[in-house]
Amino acid sequence: MPADYTSRLLFFVWICVVWEALAKSLPDQGAFEVQIKVQVFDNSDLSPLADAQVEVHGNQTVLASSRAGSDGVLRVSFLYRAGTWVIITASKQDYVTNSVPWHSSRIPLYASVSLYLLVQRPGTLILYDDVLQVLSGSPGARNQPLVELQRKSLQLPSNSNYTALSAVMTTARSQYEIGGFPFLLGQETNSSGAETGWMDLTALAVVSIQLYDKDGAAIQVSDSIRISVPLPSDTRNRMATSVPAWLYQPKTGLWVRNGTGYIKKEGTQFVWNVVVPQMGYWLAAFPTSSGAVSHLTLRSPVWVVFHLRCC
């Protein structure tokens, strides 16, 4: 091979390597920095909710996490590609997590989002020799949500006992109440565990259930949990026999399909019954008739740089 040809070939290879390195180092020309002002309020009196945890989700990961200031405000700045989606969540101890999807077809100069958090409701505990029941009202009251689990399944700390247990159980059955829970964006997986896509959900009911020890630490369980939630009399899908169950995943901001619940008629009342493997936020919902949603751009890993600052 001639020397001049070899030199030109090596020079061409060097140019390609340098060009690839430069291309990787250049910022995405389609992404621009935007700033979103996130305001968090107590839904009961609309007062600012200080120290609320605010997270931004995209590509099924937490892209940023910080806390709101004493005025309930946090400003987030990040590189954004017009038309893509992120999910903004707000959470705080003793409150129901809420979230909102956000996107813009153009790059805004400024934007703001407000989130309103519901106060968690204390549950009524009844301990028997074999089971533990959590009610949302007084024992003996009719047509109220019920959670039941085996007493032996409670994994109590060594320094705790049953008399120190407390519970929260917040339910929502009207569309207005359901709006106080995380946004209804669902994800399904196939038998091998691979993601099959995201979809909008139409909810019938949702419940938040958790047990705590005397120090406020969440109690885990080793066996299944039975949940029963009465449905409103005007429920449109009350004649359905089965309803998909969805578990909220805080790490992604999505509801993930996890089992199936059933609607039964008890007297004149329709009740959603489901057996679930753990505490948390559980949703009875059908995928919308349109199937997959337009939020699929959430999958695109376009968020290159992310900065949080509170002011």
Is residue 149 one of the residues assigned to a domain? yes
Whether 302 has a pLDDT exceeding 80, the answer reads no
Q: Are residues 143 and 111 in the same domain?
A: no
Q: Are residues 200 and 246 in the same domain?
A: yes
Rounded to whole angstroms, the Cα distance separating 273 from 268 reads 16
Rounded to whole angstroms, the Cα distance separating 285 from 279 reads 18
Higher local confidence (pLDDT), 234 or 263 = 263
Whether 239 has a pLDDT exceeding 70, the answer reads no
pLDDT of residue 191: 65
Rounded to whole angstroms, the Cα distance separating 131 from 129 reads 6
Mean pLDDT of the chain: 81
Q: Are residues 100 and 244 in the same domain?
A: no
Q: Are residues 112 and 158 in the same domain?
A: no
Burial of 32 (0-12, 13-18, 19+ CB in 10 A): middle
Is residue 163 one of the residues assigned to a domain? yes
Hey, what's the torsion of the CAs at 278, 279, 284, 290, to 10 degrees? -80
Q: How far is CA 172 from its chain centroid?
A: 15
Read off the pLDDT of each residue in 122-135 and give the average, rounded to a whole number: 94
Query: Parallel, antiparallel, or unpaired: how do β-strands 220-221 and 53-58 relate?
Result: unpaired
Q: Are residues 53 and 81 in the same domain?
A: yes
Report CA-CA distances (Å) from 43 to 97, 99, 170, 197: 12, 13, 14, 32
Q: Which residues are CB-contacts of 171 (< 8 A; sequence separation ≥ 6)?
A: 136, 145, 177, 205, 206, 207, 208, 229
Read off the pLDDT of each residue in 196-203 and give the average, rounded to a whole number: 82
Whether 193 has a pLDDT exceeding 90, the answer reads no
Range in 49-58, 174-183, 219-228, 295-304 with the lowest mean pLDDT: 295-304
Rounded to whole angstroms, the Cα distance separating 282 from 273 reads 11
Task: Look up the domain containing 226 and give its range.
Answer: 124-292
Read off the pLDDT of each residue in 32-51 and give the average, rounded to a whole number: 93
pLDDT of residue 19: 39
pLDDT tier at 195 (50, 70, 90 boundaries)?
low
For residue range 263-274, list pLDDT tens digits in order: 988 888 889 999
pLDDT tier at 80 (50, 70, 90 boundaries)?
confident
pLDDT of residue 190: 67
Whether 57 has a pLDDT exceeding 70, the answer reads yes
Q: Are residues 101 and 175 in the same domain?
A: no
Please tell me whether residue 189 adopts helix, strand or coil conformation.
Answer: strand
Any idea what the CATH number is for the domain that residue 47 is in? 2.60.40.10
Is residue 20 one of the residues assigned to a domain? no
pLDDT of residue 225: 97
Q: Are residues 137 and 210 in the same domain?
A: yes
Largest Cα–Cα separation, the chain: 96
Domain count, the chain: 2
Is residue 12 one of the residues assigned to a domain? no
For residue range 156-185, list pLDDT tens digits in order: 887 778 888 999 999 998 888 899 999 999
Nearest to 248 by CA among 198, 183, 297: 183
Rounded to whole angstroms, the Cα distance separating 74 from 76 reads 7
Is residue 138 one of the residues assigned to a domain? yes
Whether 261 has a pLDDT exceeding 90, the answer reads yes
pLDDT of residue 13: 40
Q: Are residues 222 and 104 in the same domain?
A: no
Higher local confidence (pLDDT), 29 or 284 = 284
